[in-house]
Amino acid sequence: MSGMTLEVENLSTHFATRAGLVKAVDGVSFHVNRGEILGLVGESGSGKSVTGFSLIGLVDPPGRVASGKILFQGRDITALPEEERRALRGNRIAMIFQDPMMTLNPVLRIDTQMMETVHAHAKVSNAEARARSRDALGMVGIPSPEERLSAYPHQFSGGMRQRVAIAIALLHRPDLIIADEPTTALDVTIQAQILAEVQKLAREVGTALIWITHDLSVVAGLADRIAVMYAGRIVETGSVTDVLDRPMHPYTAGLIGSVPSRNKRGARLSQIPGMTPSLIDLPVGCAFRTRCPRADTACAADPPETSTVPGRALRCFHPQLDFAA
Amino acid sequence: MNAPVIELRGVSKRFGKTYDAAARLARGLRRSLGGEVKDQVVRAVDNIDLTIHKGEVVGLVGESGCGKSTIGRMVAGIMPPSDGTVHWHGRDITAMPLDAMRRATLKVQMIFQDPYASLNPRMRVEDIVGEAPRVHGMIPRGEETAYIDAQLNRAGLDPAYKRRYPHQFSGGQRQRIGIARALAVQPEFLVCDEAVAALDVSIQAQILNLFMDLREQLDLTYLFISHDLGVVEHLSDRVVIMYLGRIVEEAPAEEIFARSNHPYTQALLAEVPRIDTRKRAFTAIKGEIPSPLNPPPGCHFHPRCPHAMPTCREVAPALREVAPGHRSACHLNTL
C-alpha cells in the first residue's frame, strides 16, 4: 500500500445563503500518511469541521463541495456515486463527532447500534457481528464489554459514551478516521484515556487520523503534523515541532501566544486583537490582515502558498523567518 | 495577609429527590410493611472549609460533578447551604437581617460559563446591564445613560451597540456583556464559573486579560472555577482541588504546580495537555469518576489511587497542613 492514505487538493466547500455565498472551505490542500496523526487546528468558524464533513461526504444543502479533489488511497472519491461513497463511509473512512450523546441513538441498545454498523458492510452472522462489537468495546478499554453490550447509552458516562462512539468507528478497522473535537466535552483524566487509545490505534493498526480541534495543547502531544486553518484556508502546515516552536504565520504565532501556559504566570496574555471575521464579509486578500501586526499594503493581494522547507507550507507575505536559537 | 472576605465553615450541600404523592404513598406502605426505604441523596459538597482573603484570586479546580459549581453558587448566595455557614467579612450571612443580607449578596456577583444561556435573548444590552443597578437605586436620576455607557466601556464594549440584542454579538462579546452586568452593581467579589471555557483561545486570552485589568482597577477578589489547569495556573494566587464533593488539596499556585502532594492532584497535573510536550505517550488515571450518588467509602479517590492502602478504604482522610499554607487530605502524610 502506498504511504499516503488521503490527499486533498484544492478543496472548496461553499454554502449558498440568503446573505451571500459563504466559502467555508476555500481551496484547502493537505495529505495524511498511513499511521499518521494530522492535527487540524482552528477557531470557531475557521472551516475545520466543514473540511471534515466534506471528506466523509456529509455536507448538507445549502452546502456543497464546489471544487477540488479528495484522493483516498489514490482514488478521487468526490466524483463517486452516492452508493460507492456509502460503501466507504463507516467502512474504510469513519468519523467521530464531538458530542457522543447526539451520535448514539438513545432508544437502542449498544449492541443493536453496533451490530447494525457491522452488518452494513459485512455479510456475517449475528453471532459474529456481536463478537466483533464486543471486541471493539474491549479495544477502547470498556470493562466487561459483554455485559455492557446490552446497556443503553444513558447508562454510560460521557467518557464511556465517547468510547462507544470510537468503538463503532473502529468496527471495520478503517484506514482513515476523522475525529471532530472528540475530547472537547470530556474531563482531563478521561481525555487522556481516549488519547492513549487513539495513539495505540495509529501505531498498531496503521490507521491515519485527522484530529480536528481548537486545542493546541492536545495536538502538541498527540499529532505528527499540524495544519492551521483561518477563515476557510490552511495558513500554515508543518511538523508539530516546526509549527509550534517556530511559527512563521502571524496567526499561528498569535494563537500560541494566547495559551496561558506559554505566558509568565500572572502576566498579561498576548492577545490577537479583534475577532474572527464573518465569512460573508472577508477582507480582500489575506483574511487575517485586519488583525495582523505585520500587515501592509502587499497583504491586500491574495498570499499564495509558499514552501520554504519540504513539508512546510504557509500563506503569508511577511512570515517570521528569524528565530533566536 | 488581608482580612477574609468570604469564609465557608463546615459547608455541605445535599440534593435529595423530591417525591410526588404516589411515590410517598408507596414508600410509606413499604416502610409500614417493614421494608427498607432508602433516600437517594447526592452530597454535592461535603463539609468544606474555605477562606478567601481580600484581593485574592482563588482557583477552584475539579472534574465534572465534583461540586465546584455548587460551591460557587453558595458563595454567590444563589443557593443556601444544607449545613454550615457562609460568612461575609466575618459575619454569618444567613443570620443577618434581610436588608443587610441583600447588601452583602449584592457585593458578590457571578459570571457564568455559557454566554448564550446566561443572557435574556429578549432584552436589549442596555437593559441587561442597567436593570440591576436601577432596581437597587444605584444610579442617580438623569445619569442612567452615562452609567450604562461606563459599564460597557469598562468591559471593552462599544456603548454604540447598547440597543442591540444578545444574538447580535459573538461569544466573546456576550461574555463581556455578562461581565458588564456583574460589574454594574459595584461588587467586591466575582465568582467566575468556567467563564472562559466556551471561548476560542484568542478570545479567551482577551477575557482573561480583562479579568486581570479589572482586578487591579476595582480591587476585586475572585473565586475562579475552572477545569482548565492552564488557565487557573496563570490567574490564581491560590488553588483548591476538589474531588467528589471534598477538598483534597489546597496551596499557593506556585507551590501546587511545583510540589503537589495529593495523588489525585499529581495525576491531574500529569494529564494536562501542554503545548510544550511533543508526541507524549498518554497514560491515564485508571477508572472513571465514581457516581456521587454512591461514592466509595473512606477516601473517595482510593479506587483509582496507585498508593491506596487498607485504611484508605475505611477512613476519610482529613485536610492537614503539609507545608505552610499547603493542606492536603491523604493518609500517606500521616504514615
3 state SS of B242: strand
Partners of B239 on chain A (C-beta within 8 Å) are none
The interface pTM score, or ipTM, of the predicted complex is: 0.76
The pLDDT, as a whole number, for residue A273 is 83
pLDDT band at A325 (very low <50, low <70, confident <90, very high): very low
* Among B178, A155, B23, CA closest to A147: A155
According to DSSP, residue B79 is labeled S
Q: What percent of chain B has pLDDT over 90?
A: 47
> Distance between CA B288 and CA A193 in Å, rounded?
10
Write down the number of H helices and E strands in chain B. Answer: 10, 12
CA distances from A120 to A117, A170, A202, B41, B271 (A): 5, 14, 24, 44, 37
Give DSSP secondary structure letters for B143-198. -HHHHHHHHHHHTT--GGGTTS-GGGS-HHHHHHHHHHHHHTT--SEEEEESTTTT
Would you say residue A317 has pLDDT above 60? yes
Backbone CA torsion sign across A43, A49, A52, A54: negative
Give DSSP secondary structure letters for A23-37. EEEEEEEEEEETT-E
- Is B278 close to A187, i.e. CB distance below 8 A? no
The pLDDT, as a whole number, for residue B284 is 63
- Is B234 close to A265, i.e. CB distance below 8 A? yes
Task: Name B96's Cβ contacts closer than 8 Å, sequence gap at least 6.
Answer: B104
* Among A274, A318, A275, CA closest to A296: A318
For B57, which residue in chain A has the nearest alpha carbon? Answer: A266
> Distance between CA B203 and CA B213 in Å, rounded?
15
Residue A320 covered by a domain? no
The pLDDT, as a whole number, for residue A277 is 78
Task: Name B32's Cβ contacts closer than 8 Å, sequence gap at least 6.
Answer: none
For residue B209 the three cell numbers come to 486579560
User: Is the Cβ–Cβ distance between A180 and A96 less than 8 Å?
Assistant: yes
Q: Is A218 on the interface with B (CB under 8 A)?
A: yes
* Among A67, A71, A72, CA closest to A23: A67
Tally of domains within chain A? 1
Burial of B95 from C-beta contacts in 10 A (0-12 / 13-18 / 19+)? exposed
For residue A281 the three cell numbers come to 464579509
- Is A158 close to B200, i.e. CB distance below 8 A? no
Which one of A151-165, A265-279, B241-255 scores highest in mean pLDDT? B241-255
Establish, for the pair of chains A and B, how many residue pairs have beta carbons separated by less than 8 Å: 139
> Distance between CA A169 and CA A300 in Å, rounded?
43
CATH number of the domain to which A233 belongs: 3.40.50.300
Residue A35 covered by a domain? yes
What tens digit of pLDDT does each residue of A181-200 get? 888 777 777 788 788 888 88
Domain that holds residue A68: 4-92+176-189+206-315
pTM of the model: 0.83
For residue A214 the three cell numbers come to 481548537
For residue B272 the three cell numbers come to 494536562
* Lateral strand order in the sheet of B221-226: B108-111, B189-193, B221-226, B57-61, B238-243, B246-252, B326-328, B320-323
User: What is the average per-residue pLDDT within B27-56?
Assistant: 84
What tens digit of pLDDT does each residue of B109-127 get? 999 888 888 899 999 999 9
For B268, which residue in chain A has the nearest alpha carbon? Answer: A189
Would you say residue A1 has pLDDT above 50? no
Residue A278 covered by a domain? yes
What tens digit of pLDDT does each residue of A132-159 get? 999 888 877 787 888 889 999 888 877 7
Q: Is B121 on the interface with A (CB under 8 A)?
A: no
According to DSSP, residue A89 is labeled B
pLDDT band at A324 (very low <50, low <70, confident <90, very high): low
pLDDT band at B26 (very low <50, low <70, confident <90, very high): confident
- Is B280 close to A262, i.e. CB distance below 8 A? no
If one compares B110 and A322, the residue with the highest pLDDT of the two is B110
Q: Is A259 on the interface with B (CB under 8 A)?
A: yes
Q: How far is CA A176 from the centre of its chain?
A: 11
Using only C-alpha atoms, chain B has a radius of gyration, in whole angstroms, of 22
pLDDT band at A109 (very low <50, low <70, confident <90, very high): very high
- In the chain, the amino acid numbered A310 is P
User: Closest Cα of chain B to A16: distance in Å?
Assistant: 21
According to DSSP, residue A313 is labeled E
Dihedral (Cα; B154, B157, B161, B165), 10-degree rounding? -100
3 state SS of A236: strand
- In the chain, the amino acid numbered B215 is R
- Is A240 close to B212, i.e. CB distance below 8 A? no
For A36, which residue in chain B has the nearest alpha carbon? Answer: B279
User: Closest Cα of chain B to A160: distance in Å?
Assistant: 9
Lowest mean pLDDT among A184-188, B135-139, B185-189: A184-188
User: Is the Cβ–Cβ distance between B125 and B39 less than 8 Å?
Assistant: no
User: What is the average per-residue pLDDT within A108-126?
Assistant: 92
> Distance between CA B65 and CA B245 in Å, rounded?
8
User: What is the average per-residue pLDDT within A304-320?
Assistant: 86
- In the chain, the amino acid numbered B116 is Y
> Distance between CA A159 and CA B327 in Å, rounded?
30
Which one of A256-270, B89-103, B244-258 scores highest in mean pLDDT? B244-258
Residue A107 covered by a domain? no
